[in-house]
Amino acid sequence: MTKRTSLKLTDERQRKLDRASAIVAEDEYDDPPMSVVIDAALTHLVESEQNIDDARGEFDPETIQAIANTSVIGLRYRTSIESKWR
């Protein structure tokens, strides 16, 4: 990962941040800082990968794949977790 000093906020990225902010907010009047929203999203991604790995012994691969596939995390049947992001 390349470290950058600025974050360009495209319209789509701003919409995603607004949706994520609403999820992270304690109530409709809370406006969490962007750093809190980004930290929550990163934590969710890391924990999701761990949850998928933990579920492998408990659930069949088709169920895990049907529930856990997103535009960011892609699962190959019975093999591995792959990032679809880039």
For 25-50, write each residue's pLDDT tens digit: 999 999 999 999 999 999 998 888 88
Mean of per-residue pLDDT scores for the chain: 83
Residue 85 has pLDDT above 60, yes or no: no
pLDDT of residue 81: 59
pLDDT of residue 59: 86
Closest CA to 83 of 48, 40, 39: 48
Q: How far is CA 55 from CA 8, 41, 58, 61, in A?
A: 36, 21, 5, 9
Intra-chain end-to-end CA distance of the chain, in Å: 12
Amino acid identity, residue 42?
L
Residues 45-72: pLDDT tens digits?
A: 888 888 888 888 888 878 887 888 777 7
pTM of the model: 0.72
